[in-house]
A and B are shown apart, each in its own frame.
Chain A
Amino acid sequence: MHISEGVLSAPVLAGGAAFAVAGIAVGLKKLDNNRIPQAGILAAAFFVASLVHVPIGPSSMHLILNGIVGLLMGWAAFPVIAVALVLQAILFQFGGITSLGVNTIIMAGPAVLGYYLFTPFIARGHTTAMAGAFACGFTAVLVSALIAAAALMLTGEAFLEVSAALVAAHIVVMIIEGIITMFCVAFLKKVQPSMLSIG
């Protein structure tokens, strides 16, 4: 899902960068001091998650974890994910420096969306919370694939074909991310519900 260097046209890259900077600014403003260490730990987890490869048939996919990052951080998912993506681009050549803005939107946009859509479910009873958590992990990756396809469409690829290919390639990751998000929420609800912004 990381878009490489040189794939997208300059206007798409510039637009992505502008939106990403705006998102990071909002995220940093909304980030409380006492949540900074949590942001650091989540950034580290997001950074390393892409190195965990899930074998799917003959190919493999890596974890993304933007659903759980969004659920825990809200708007602060933008700076968290941006820092992790910068390091992934520099150290592992995932994505590229010029496509950082677009990649941040692809990963952090759905994270924030998931925060707004699914936090109300997390506060409810066990079954609803678990369903909400699964849906959050699942939807975040799905929306990421759709945004990536939209970015590629603006540079000339056919939207339906690319989005279908991306969604098909990530369907197992979506389910795995849903399950991981579910376990994380179940654990945090018992141990430290304050981390889930539900008090």
Chain B
Amino acid sequence: MMRTYLKRTPLTKAGWLYLIIGVILMVYAGPALGHGVQGRITPQTGMQVNASYDDGEPMAYAAVEVTHADEKLPFQTGRTDRNGCFVFLPDKPGDWRVVVNDGMGHQLSLTTQLDKNLELNKESGPEKTYGALSRPEKALMGIAIIFGLSGVFFWWRGRAEMRKVRDAKKTVS
């Protein structure tokens, strides 16, 4: 039956071969030649970055760059939302570096370490701690240092003056 059908058609054997190859190519090459798009929105947890200025104001719409320590190219780039938040989904364990830059001179740089389950390694959390002193205590400390420095500078300049006076006295006597 098939043989008689093939005989009746105007295509030669080579023609059939080309046709079959063409169909196979079209089926397999389809996805590569024209990308379809698909996606969905699901509730997902990831690594959330909260960037804010020291007075609590969020670093809104600031440029973010997420890079794995072993890679040169950034894993993800983007911007924070209006609340200074940014979420990324790391795909391998290790050190991850997040740099948030507002383009006006302020840059926040955070590093975090993930274990093999892609969970935060508690021992090296992302929070930086800057000593135990409160802000007023630090301000007081700063003022004290400034007064101390000006005192030392005053004494140093005064020493030279004193030497001049002493030399002048010697030459007089």
Contacts and interface: CB of A to CB of B under 8 A. Distances in A.
Given A33-B158, A51-B135, A60-B57, A40 B146 contact: yes
A33 B143 contact: no
Size band of the B side of the interface? 20 to 34
Interface of B: 54-55, 57, 99, 101, 103-109, 130, 135, 138-139, 141-143, 145-147, 149-151, 153-154, 157-158, 161
A165 B62 CA distance: 13
Contacts of B141: 91
Given A36-B154, A91-B142, A162-B103, 8 more contacts: A4-B108, A6-B107, A33-B161, A44-B142, A48-B143, A51-B135, A83-B146, A148-B105
A44 B103 CA distance: 29
Contact of B130 (A7, A37, A93): A93
Q: By DSSP majority rule, is chain A's interface helix, strand, loop, or mixed?
A: helix
Contact of A84 (B107, B146, B153, B161): B146
A47 B150 contact: no
Interface string A46-65: 01100101000011101000
Interface of A: 1-7, 33, 36-37, 39-40, 43-44, 47-48, 51, 53, 58-60, 62, 83-84, 87-88, 91-94, 148, 151-152, 157, 161-162, 165-166, 169
